[in-house]
Homo-oligomer: A and B are copies of this chain.
Amino acid sequence: MSPAFALHPWMAERLDRVEQALSQWVPADAPAGLGEAMRYAVLDGGKRLRPLLVLAAAEAVGGHGGAALRAACAVELIHAYSLVHDDMPCMDDDVLRRGKPTVHVRFGEAAALLAGDALQALAFELLVPQDASIADAVQARLCRLLARAAGHDGMAGGQAIDLASVGLALDEQQLRTMHRLKTGALLRGSVLMGAACGEPGPAATAALGRYGDAIGLAFQVVDDVLDVTADSATLGKTAGKDAEQDKPTYVSLMGLERARAHAADLRDEALSALAASGLADTRALAALARMVVDRDN
């Protein structure tokens, strides 16, 4: 592993492909303004961390590039739909996202609800093209991983815990369970979907799963830290919401310094998992793990 791996040019090329693909696949012409709301929710914004994880994992296992690009966009659509619904008045009631008015502020609540629903369906549609170059087994596996990561035993389940836990005193174990589902499942799913574009074998798959678990949790710990330390302009969303809503966070539970140290430990866990994976080139995955912990928004 060369220490000279340059993440930024690697990222720039992949981000460009992802943006082009999303722009092509999220339809402008869906009926009655639905396409406009869907595109507003997805395009020109977001760090695209999940697509980058898919692509980095797929490259590490020598996976099918076309399948990986579809998987990358599919996880981003799931992420985008969850933000649209999460921002709605009946959930977090947030008006600012990625520096722009949220979808329901811009298009109305009903359109936001439908755009989110349609984005979830589109995510699965992207995974099952009539394209014989992507094996049926790969298509089915990608759907399986995405459905589990997004559903009741993944992201949606974590959101339900989050909703039920406002004002409650969760301990670290309960907080970890919530975040393992709410944000961790889709981040882990991104890594595993990338892996599913190839045939890495059980040991490497398990190592990538541990990597995904560690960065999934690290991401949330850093999110909690940034909610306290960053301002809204840097974050592109309303800062300080967690404390204001009396939501339990890693910072409220362990304090700022211990939370920061915990994130660094999780990054190291992720790097150890990569080292144990037996895969030839995991430099992009390693660089992404460092980026998750060192980011400032």
Docked pose: A130 CA to B30 CA in angstroms: 34
Contact B85 A160, beta carbon cutoff 8 Å: no
- Tell which of B31, B82, B110, B139 touches A143, judged by Cβ atoms closer than 8 Å: B139
Contact B111 A160, beta carbon cutoff 8 Å: yes
8 Å CB interface, A57-102 against B: 81-82, 85, 88, 90-91
Q: Does residue A1 face the partner (Cβ distance < 8 Å to B)?
A: no
Q: Does residue A290 face the partner (Cβ distance < 8 Å to B)?
A: no
Docked pose: A121 CA to B121 CA in angstroms: 9
Contact A128 B143, beta carbon cutoff 8 Å: yes
How many Å from the CB of A58 to the closest CB on chain B?
Answer: 19
Contact B124 A31, beta carbon cutoff 8 Å: no
Contact A118 B152, beta carbon cutoff 8 Å: yes
Q: Does residue A34 face the partner (Cβ distance < 8 Å to B)?
A: yes
Contact B156 A121, beta carbon cutoff 8 Å: yes
- Tell which of B91, B120, B141 touches A120, judged by Cβ atoms closer than 8 Å: B120
Contact A124 B147, beta carbon cutoff 8 Å: yes
Docked pose: A139 CA to B141 CA in angstroms: 10
Contact B35 A152, beta carbon cutoff 8 Å: yes
Docked pose: A111 CA to B152 CA in angstroms: 12
Q: Does residue A246 face the partner (Cβ distance < 8 Å to B)?
A: no
Docked pose: A124 CA to B142 CA in angstroms: 11
- In the complex, the chain B residue whose C-beta lies closest to that of A139 is B140
Considering residues A34, A108, A158, A160, which has the most beta carbons from chain B within 10 angstroms of its beta carbon?
Answer: A160
Q: Does residue A55 face the partner (Cβ distance < 8 Å to B)?
A: no
Docked pose: A114 CA to B117 CA in angstroms: 11
8 Å CB interface, A226-248 against B: none
Contact A30 B153, beta carbon cutoff 8 Å: yes
Known: A117-B120, A128-B140. A157 touches B34 (CB 8 A): yes
Contact A91 B118, beta carbon cutoff 8 Å: no
- For the A-B complex with A114-B156, A140-B143 known, give 5 more contacts whose Cβ atoms are closer than 8 Å: A30-B160, A31-B160, A111-B163, A121-B156, A139-B140
> 28 interchain pairs (CB within 8 A)?
A30-B153, A30-B157, A30-B160, A31-B157, A31-B161, A32-B157, A32-B160, A32-B165, A33-B164, A34-B157, A38-B152, A88-B113, A90-B110, A114-B159, A117-B120, A118-B152, A118-B157, A118-B160, A120-B120, A121-B152, A122-B152, A124-B143, A128-B140, A128-B141, A128-B144, A139-B143, A140-B140, A140-B143
Q: Which residues of A are in contact with B by a Cβ distance under 8 Å? A: 27, 30-35, 38, 81-82, 85, 88, 90-91, 108-111, 113-114, 116-118, 120-122, 124-125, 127-130, 135-137, 139-141, 143-144, 146-148, 150-154, 156-161, 163-165, 181
